[in-house]
Amino acid sequence: MVEALKENKTDVTACILCSRNCGLSVEVKDNQFVKIKGNPEHPFSQGYICQKAARLQHYQQHADRLTTPLKRQPDGSFQEISWDNAIHEIAERLVQIRDNFGGTAFASVGGGGQGNHLGAAYGRQLLLAMKSYYAYNSLAQEKTGDFWLNGRLFGNQACHTTEDVEYADYVLFIGTNPFQAHGIPNARDTLKHIKKDPNRTMVVVDPRVTETAKQADIHVQLKPGTDAFLMSAMIAIIIKEQLYDVKFIEQHTQGFEEVKTTFSRVPIEEYIAKVDVPVDLIYQVARDFAKAKRGCVRIDLGIQHTLNTTLNGYLEKLLYLLTGNFGKQGTNNLHTMFIPILSDTDERKSKYRRSVYHKMFPISGFFPPNILPDEILKAGEKRIRAVFVDSCNPLLTYPDTPAYEKAFKALDLLVVVDVAMTETARFADYILPAHTQFEKWEFTGFNLEFPKNGFHLRHPVFTAQGNTLPEAEIYTRLLEAMKVIPKSFPVLEKIAAVDSKKTAYLPYLSALGLTFARHKKYIPFAASILYRTLGKHLENSAASVAFLLPLSIQYAVLHTKAVRRAGYKGNPLTLGVRLFEQILNQRSGVVLSQHEYDEMWKLVAYKDKKIRLVIPEMLSELANLKNHQFSIEEFPFILLSGERRSYNANQIYRDPAWRKVDAEGALRIHPEDATNLNVAVGDQLKCISQHGEIQVTVDFDEGMRKGVVSLPHGYGMRFQGGEPIGPQLNLLVSGEHCDPLSKTPYHKYVPIRLEKC
């Protein structure tokens, strides 16, 4: 366990509020943050932070923090339970459920938020111990359409792209607001540099004049949900005017002729009319992007949470592929992944079983939250009966809150692992309190950079509070209680004890290999086995980090040259060990690998390294696009549900005191729309969808498109069990309102009407 850490000190860690995980230099006293600044030593963020990070004390300590395991009583109240009893009782019920009903009876939900992916390696093992493959995760309510496309284009759903915005001459931001949401390196600085440079162009495609749009050279203020029309028109222009990159297409792709024929049929002017923006502007953007020396496209929820999600992703990818903006500096690129977050579960291979009720297939290993309530309530004998929720608050963040409430109540067993008493935890049979991310070893797997990729292993900053445990310990104890792994591995432990860095862990690794060769059934539980054996002998109580040793070795084998270029030395056996040691020692993070651009092609999974441009499902969706219906008379407004603002950060901060502005999470509406409704700033409105109703506070925003309104993500918490603070967005969205292929929700396209209260 984490030893008591000395107080009155400075330390380094990282922000946990978004995927960037910027490096932090912190001053701590009495087990609290006193001061938080950017860490200039961090290899990627280099001192950059945004205003949200300075408030992290509100995450570390607040009135909803869990301090002891809790068990639900027959009267619905929670009572303290010892760890031993909680683990024992849960393990017993899990084994019963597994043995009586099999793998389809269990699902895991969540498993790692924006900054805590270490515990996910341990949580994943429980899924395997339950013989289940139902991993439901937030990534499958935004990014799985993208992953599916990568599978088709590049040959493996774990192929993932990044964008070299920092070096691009021409950047298309489509459906993303990096000024607030970040997602690109040091977003505000990067935007400022593009803005200042007369030779670089920034285009923002967004229905709102966002903070990013204000910095842009061109803002395309489209009608929400029309991106597929816009992007297919742009591609059609590029094809009509032969602005595509013939050499790139010949050298690196297959299927261009079919794509060309399909897009030649796109009625350009008619489609741009649907988008409701000037035709000339779109011609200009399409031409200039295609002609740019280094163009890149960065997208996010604006196209992933709206109509035609997966098709949007396909079109976005064609934009950079057809123009040859791929595999070079300042363009889009594939990148390496140190932590294997994504797997390849191509639905055309029959071994990836589908869900029982919706017959939905996993994408990159993940099932979409939109279908989970039905898989619990409607799947008969083969229904899901037990759920583990970890690092996730589905009762606020997944579509259709009432369906989730009903489904979670119907479970035989719901366990929640969290640091805080969340809306979801209140439905649990057992609540297991974890160390916060500053009380344990942690890291993020969201290191998605190219050509230089990195990794930051965070050391514990604080002594753990209360009777909490890190996830590594929680899940390992569960596996042991379920008798999936024995409580000790005497041979491995003995070798780990005498092994030292001098021997490069080689005796230990060969003993581990031998154990796995003899007992294949232990392979899925490698993380816990390393934790209990080698882990005990790592310095600074870094036990939970031991499984990074084999991952480091694997990374060094796969990317030997790039790892050497990043400054690591060693023979094929020891290079990965050096990498592991540096990861352990460099508290501000390390550069893992330094690639050359032309090596990017090695990351394409198809043997011939050629990108398959033709995806039949997408071409047929494209052909059906013209039949699209938009408006519903009864619901004249389109709600963009889930805007990223200055003071929201998913569900990570619970105490409303962290917000400096926008306490109520106001509805942004164009002043003219507000006048027509006869409401003023601060008034209350009823926001009614086909599915539900919430009450919201009005705020004016001249930058809103008329007929479009916006509410923020990350509100609706019942802090200290009180009334919900700010909008509970997911009362408004039905699980069926989603992309037909990936089943990701249309959060950014919710037809509503507004009524005065």
Ligand X SMILES: Nc1nc2c(c(=O)[nH]1)N[C@H]1C(S)=C(S)[C@@H](COP(=O)(O)OP(=O)(O)OC[C@H]3O[C@@H](n4cnc5c(=O)[nH]c(N)nc54)[C@H](O)[C@@H]3O)O[C@H]1N2
Question: Of ligand X, ligand SF4, none, which one does residue 22 interact with (CB within 5 to 8 Å by kind)?
Answer: ligand SF4
224 binds ligand X per the rule CB under 6 A = yes
Q: Which stretch binds ligand X (CB under 6 A): 88-96, 344-352, 392-400, 444-452?
A: 392-400
**17/638 with CB nearer ligand SF4:** 17
Name beta bridge partners: 637.
752
Q: Which stretch binds ligand X (CB under 6 A): 186-194, 199-207, 581-589, 605-613?
A: 199-207
Give residue for tokens 């008591």.
4
Rounded Cα–Cα distance for residues 127 and 107 (Å)? 7
Q: For residues 162-221, which are near ligand SF4 according to CB under 6 A?
A: 182
Asked if the peptide bond before residue 451 counts as cis, ω within 30 degrees of 0, the response is: yes
Q: Which stretch binds ligand SF4 (CB under 6 A): 45-53, 272-280, 399-407, 657-665?
A: 45-53
Question: Of ligand X, ligand SF4, none, which one does residue 512 interact with (CB within 5 to 8 Å by kind)?
Answer: none
> For ligand X, what does the binding mask look like between residues 122 and 141, x meaning CB under 6 A?
----------------x--x
Which three-class secondary structure state does DSSP give residue 675? Answer: helix
Q: How far is the CB of 341 from ligand SF4 (least distance, A)?
A: 17
Q: For residues 5-24, which are near ligand SF4 according to CB under 6 A?
A: 15, 17-18, 20-22
Dihedral, CA atoms, 93, 94, 100, 104, nearest 10 degrees?
140
* Contact residue for ligand X among 140, 202, 420, 563 (CB under 6 A): 420
390 binds ligand X per the rule CB under 6 A = yes
Q: Which stretch binds ligand SF4 (CB under 6 A): 50-58, 97-105, 535-543, 710-718?
A: 50-58
**263/443 with CB nearer ligand X:** 443
> For ligand X, what does the binding mask look like between residues 569 and 588, x meaning CB under 6 A?
--------------------
Q: How far is the CB of 509 from ligand X (least distance, A)?
A: 29
Rounded Cα–Cα distance for residues 375 and 357 (Å)? 6
Q: How far is the CB of 745 from ligand X (least distance, A)?
A: 7
Residue 158, H or E segment: none
Per-residue DSSP letters for 566-580? TT----TTTHHHHHH
207 binds ligand X per the rule CB under 6 A = yes
Is residue 222 within 8 Å of residue 630, measured between CB atoms?
Answer: no
50 binds ligand SF4 per the rule CB under 6 A = yes
Torsion region of 486: left, alpha or beta (phi above 0 gives left; psi -120 to 50 gives alpha):
beta
Q: How far is the CB of 26 from ligand SF4 (least distance, A)?
A: 12
Is residue 202 within 8 Å of residue 702, measured between CB atoms?
Answer: no
- Residue 129 CB partners (closer than 8 Å, separation 6+): 94, 98, 478, 479, 482, 484, 524, 525
> For ligand X, what does the binding mask look like between residues 102 and 121, x meaning CB under 6 A?
--------x--xx-x--x--
- What are the angstrom distances between the C-alpha of 98 and each of 128, 324, 386, 410, 483? 11, 50, 9, 17, 13
Rounded Cα–Cα distance for residues 439 and 400 (Å)? 34
- What are the angstrom distances between the C-alpha of 116 and each of 44, 136, 225, 419, 434? 18, 17, 33, 12, 11
CA 349, chain centre distance (Å) = 25
Q: Of 756, 111, 132, whose CA–CA distance to 471 is shortest?
A: 111
Which three-class secondary structure state does DSSP give residue 296? Answer: strand
Q: How far is the CB of 302 from ligand SF4 (least distance, A)?
A: 18
Is residue 615 within 8 Å of residue 152, measured between CB atoms?
Answer: yes
Is residue 77 within 8 Å of residue 421, measured between CB atoms?
Answer: no
Q: Which stretch binds ligand SF4 (CB under 6 A): 47-55, 481-489, 501-509, 586-594?
A: 47-55
* Contact residue for ligand X among 87, 236, 296, 301 (CB under 6 A): 301
Beta strands 413-418 and 386-390, pairing class = parallel
Question: Of ligand SF4, ligand X, none, which one does residue 417 interact with (CB within 5 to 8 Å by kind)?
Answer: ligand X
Which three-class secondary structure state does DSSP give residue 366? Answer: strand
Q: For residues 486-515, which are near ligand X according to CB under 6 A?
A: none
640 binds ligand X per the rule CB under 6 A = yes
Is residue 8 within 8 Å of residue 172, measured between CB atoms?
Answer: no
* Contact residue for ligand X among 652, 679, 685, 731 (CB under 6 A): 652
Positions touching ligand SF4 (CB under 6 A) are 15, 17-18, 20-22, 49-50, 52-53, 182
Positions touching ligand X (CB under 6 A) are 18, 110, 113-114, 116, 119, 138, 141-142, 174-177, 180-183, 205-208, 210, 222, 224-225, 227, 300-303, 305-306, 390-393, 397, 417-420, 422, 434, 436-437, 471, 640-645, 648-652, 713-714, 729-730, 747-748
